[in-house]
Amino acid sequence: MCGIIGYCGRRPAVPLVIEGLSRLEYRGYDSSGIAYLQARRLELVRAEGKLAMLENKLAERSSSLATIGIGHTRWATHGLPVERNAHPHRSQNDALAIVHNGIIENYQELKDVLSSEGYVFSSDTDTEVLANLISFELDSLLVERFGQGAEFSKKVEEYIEKSNQNSSIFIEIMEEAFSNALKKAHGAYAVVLLSPMIPQNIFAARLAAPLLLGIGVGEFFVASDVPAFLPYTKDVVFLEDKEIAILSDSSYEVKSLETGHVVKKEIHHIPWDIQGAAKDGHKHFMLKEIMEQPKVLRDCLAGRVQDGKIVLPELDGIAVPTRIRILACGTSYNAGLWSQHYLESLAQIPVTVEIASEFRYRKPLLSTGELILVISQSGETADTLGALRLCKERGHTVLGLCNVLGSSLAREADATLYTQAGPEISVASTKAMLSQMVLLLLLSSYWGQRKNLYDDNAVKTRETILQGLISLPAVLDDLLPALRKKANELARKYAFAHSFFYLGRGLAYALALEGALKLKELSYIHAEAYASGEMKHGPIALIEPDFPTFVVAFDDEHFPKVRSGILEVQSRQGKVIALVQENCHVECEDMWYLPETSLPEFLALPAMQLFSYEMADYLGKDVDQPRNLAKSVTVE
């Protein structure tokens, strides 16, 4: 979703802010902007479209003296993606500028009050309302301290002059104004403020939207995500809800919004290197992230399998559940749905898998002791967090499965298993799903192990699974180049299609869902996934020669039925791509064979990812930043 970066230091701020924004581009955006203080003047530049447009505008200005600045990439929620709605937004009197992620739900009421006080708005955003609300609070405090006629709006120059002489008073006043305004704003925000009145400082605060500080030497950053400042520091402070941070070039302080007391914060060291957030010679981040999946498998398994046993110390304090409810969105939901088979067969635990946004908006009935397993790459998906909070309020234990260290999910769950996939930059999720699947499989085996279950009822034994997992990185290393070649051939052949069916049964059904999701989000080709058995209940009516079907199937007890389904499609002249294991005997227009392994899902997933990747690239689409999409969906 939207990206935020703020810099306070001694180096030129504008290039650093632009670089930070470019590292956040992957989150998806439609406009961008920057505010900085140049000789104490508040300068603001914004542009519609890609970051290059903003850079072109900045090239016409001089900003070399600025050592403090804030920037934003916007993904429209309130108002069209046009320049006047882009962030930063300044208050009417130029007292301050802010960037903001999230939504101020009561913005209309606040706007009405401010309008009656004479404020005029030039954008359609809730953010401009917040900027003016802070400025309104600021004016009131200035009047209180310095008497009538002291409003900042009327005396900007004079106040800048005064604040030069006694900056601590103005920092204090700004802090109070900022807090007062935020207490009146309902909803979600990660907000960062810059003002000529406090020329050495940046203010930041969060409520239900991610915001973190980068702790450097003689410089500090604030950002919505780590990659924004990763080349400069790996030391991070995660802000919690209702905390305010005040940064300068020599220090930072975090306070509680409610009490005003200083909060002591822990500094976390991020184990990523900048290489992990770079394309590494690949044409796109997505391709890099697909191709690095053997490494992801190794990293994800590291230390978790010892002497044939699964070791997950994060779960030491959590009892083996009697029921599990999995909550997630999008690709993470697909990983959860896939794991239901393993959790039920290896751990003998009944599992319900639900889309978080559906779950949280009804009155769900949960069994006593039901463990909530929340899955999210980013750990910041608003609906997933909403579902998590609902379950916690009802007293359920929440286990999180998450990739981003220190994310909201990781901090709010009772225990968290990190997927250790490294930064996922491409908007479309690939390696994160693979790592989620590894952990879910380990988790299923781990609970089976803790229950001392023998494998009589399991489709695959624990031992087969562990051996399969351990051999997977090497198998995938060898296979990926061939998968890419085949994906490329198929993409060229099927690029004519306007619609695709994806079919799967059993373990392959969730993969079919994921294949269809990847194809539509990247290539904009309509793709629909069905459990193979459902075809004859309606969807098959659509089959015709130009409507291809992508079948994913494994050498298991379901295959005879899948083959019948394929024949039904073929007898209606439908073309079929069959992604199957070598022992699956069937004749289709296009056969795509996977080697025989005990865990073919881990080979089929990259194959399908590559098919969508090659299709999107061949059709000339924006692979890493598909239209209308954002990396982490922090709005509901």
Active site residues: 2, 631
Kindly write out the interface string for residues 381-410 of this chain, putting x where it contacts ligand F6R by CB under 6 A and - elsewhere.
x--x--------------------------
Q: C-alpha 308: how far from its chain's center? A: 34
What SS3 state is found at 78? coil
Task: Candidates 128, 521, 601, 617: give the one binding ligand F6R (CB under 6 A).
Answer: 521
279 φ, ψ (degrees, to nearest 5): -75, -15
The correct pick among 429, 435, 445, 634 for binding ligand F6R (CB under 6 A) is: 429
Burial class (CB in 10 A: 0-12, 13-18, 19+), 267: exposed
| Residue 314: CA count within 13 A, CB half-sphere | 20
Applying CB under 6 A, the span of 1-9, 149-157, 237-245, 324-332 interacting with ligand F6R comes to 324-332
Neighbours of 166 (CB within 10 A): 9
Element (H, E) at 324: strand 324-328
By the 8 A CB rule, do 129 and 104 touch? yes
Task: Pick the closer one to ligand F6R by CB: 254 or 329.
Answer: 329
Q: Where are the beta strands (DSSP E) in 534-599?
A: 549-553, 576-581, 590-594
Is 416 a binding residue for ligand F6R by CB under 6 A? The answer is no
Comparison of 402 and 490: residue with beta carbon closer to ligand F6R: 402
Q: Hey, CA dihedral for 587, 592, 597, 600, is it positive or negative?
A: negative
- Per DSSP, the three-state class of 219 is coil
Q: Is 93 or 381 the residue whose CB approaches ligand F6R more closely? A: 381
Closest residue to ligand F6R using C-beta atoms = 330
Distance from chain centroid for Cα 343: 26
Stretch that binds ligand F6R, among 37-45, 180-188, 327-335, 594-602 (CB under 6 A): 327-335
Binding test (CB under 6 A) with ligand F6R, winner from 330, 336, 422, 548 = 330
CB nearer to ligand F6R: pick between 249 and 412: 412
| Interacting residue with ligand F6R among 67, 332, 435, 612 (CB under 6 A) | 332
Report in angstroms how near the CB of residue 49 gets to ligand F6R at its nearest. 23
Which of positions 345-384 make contact with ligand F6R (CB under 6 A)?
A: 376-378, 381, 384
Q: Which 8-state DSSP code applies to residue 517?
A: H
327-352 per-residue burial string, b: 16 or more CB within 10 A, e: under 16: bbbbbbbbbbbbbbbbbbbbbebebb
Q: How far is the CB of 331 from ligand F6R (least distance, A)?
A: 3
Task: Give the H/E segment covering residue 442.
Answer: helix 431-450
Q: Is the dihedral of CA 12, 13, 16, 18 positive or negative?
A: negative
Minimum distance of ligand F6R from residue 377's CB (angstroms): 4
Q: Cα–Cα distance between 241 and 210 in angstroms, integer?
A: 9
Nearer to ligand F6R, 207 or 630 (CB): 630
Q: Is 224 in the site for ligand F6R (CB under 6 A)?
A: no
* CB distance 441 to 433 below 8 Å: no
Minimum distance, C-beta of residue 108 to ligand F6R, in the bound complex (Å) = 28
**Residue 68 or 491 having the CB closest to ligand F6R:** 491
Q: Judged by CB under 6 A, does residue 127 bind ligand F6R?
A: no
For ligand F6R, the binding residues (CB under 6 A) are 329-332, 376-378, 381, 384, 428-429, 517, 521, 632-633
